[in-house]
């Protein structure tokens, strides 16, 4: 049986690397988490790479970085009607 080498196991870390980039790296500087419009900026940046899936991913990143979901009353960036 041939050796698989690094294979699929070595690629599993890429998701966490991307999360860190968009949460605390250069990507986070583009998005400016915790300020008004942060989800919109995230969606614009990530939709280039993820398409429509960026909406849900940005929602999860927003929760991870600010502690609230975008529709929550406690969301700092929420616009009032």
Domain boundaries, the chain: 32-66
- Per-residue confidence (pLDDT) for residue 51, from 0 to 100: 95
Q: What mean pLDDT comes out for the span 54-66? A: 94
Q: What is the pLDDT of residue 8?
A: 55
Give the pLDDT score at 2: 53
Q: Which residue do the tokens 């790479």 mark? A: 49
Q: What span, in angstroms and rounded, lies between the C-alpha atoms of 31 and 44?
A: 9
pLDDT at 7: 55
pLDDT at 71: 84
User: Could you report the per-residue pLDDT of 1-23, keeping only the tens digit for each?
Assistant: 455 555 555 556 688 999 999 99
Q: How far apart are CA 11 and CA 29, in angstroms?
A: 25
């Amino acid at each position: 049986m041939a050796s698989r080498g690094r294979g699929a196991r070595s690629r599993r870390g890429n998701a966490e690397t991307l999360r860190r980039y968009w949460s605390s790296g250069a990507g986070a500087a583009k998005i400016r988490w915790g300020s008004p419009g942060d989800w919109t900026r995230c969606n614009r940046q990530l939709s280039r790479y993820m398409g429509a899936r960026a909406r849900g991913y940005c929602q999860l990143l927003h929760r991870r970085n600010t502690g609230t979901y975008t529709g929550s009353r406690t969301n700092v960036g929420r616009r009032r009607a």
